[in-house]
Amino acid sequence: MTTDDQAKQKARTGEVDASLARHGGLSYLEIPAVDARQSATFYEKILGWKLHGNGGQAKFADLTGHLIGRWVTGRAIAREPGLLPYIYVDHIDDVVNRVVANGGEVIKRPYPEGNLWVAMFRDPAGNVIGLWEEASR
């Protein structure tokens, strides 16, 4: 049984996946969207998030299985960051290029910050999200 199959089985039985139930760990996000399907496709293409859902509700799981969530409409878009999430990526330059190619906007191109490379982008709905990568490149 694949990890995705195990997660689906746990969802059917009401169990919480152990990879999500970590004290103090961020495990769930609701991302504001104008068009949930468009936003889901964007994140799938730039970060490789696995999409699933039924009834037109776009849900995701990141590649680690430690973060799940969904896109929600009818909520204020985070155009100006208050809480600003940063997502770890491999090959930040490639990810930034995919942001532009898939309808996002780069706010800050990758720049060094200590031993990291960081960048910021705006997704198709307008939310500001950060990216980071260890500077060993």
Q: Is the dihedral of CA 76, 130, 51, 44 positive or negative?
A: positive
Helix (H) or strand (E) holding 52: strand 50-52
pLDDT at 18: 76
25 versus 137: which is more confidently predicted? 25
> Could you tell me the pTM of the whole model?
0.83
Residue 51, by phi and psi: left (phi above 0), alpha (psi -120 to 50) or beta? beta
Confidence of residue 12 (pLDDT cuts 50, 70, 90): low
44-56 per-position pLDDT tens digit: 999 999 998 765 6
Mean pLDDT of 54-77: 89
Residue pair 132/108 in contact by the 8 Å Cβ criterion: no
pLDDT at residue 107 greater than cutoff 80: yes
Top-level class of domain 3-134: alpha beta
- Kindly list the domain boundaries of the chain, sorted by start residue: 3-134
pLDDT at residue 93 greater than cutoff 60: yes
Helices (H) and strands (E) in the chain, counts: 3, 8
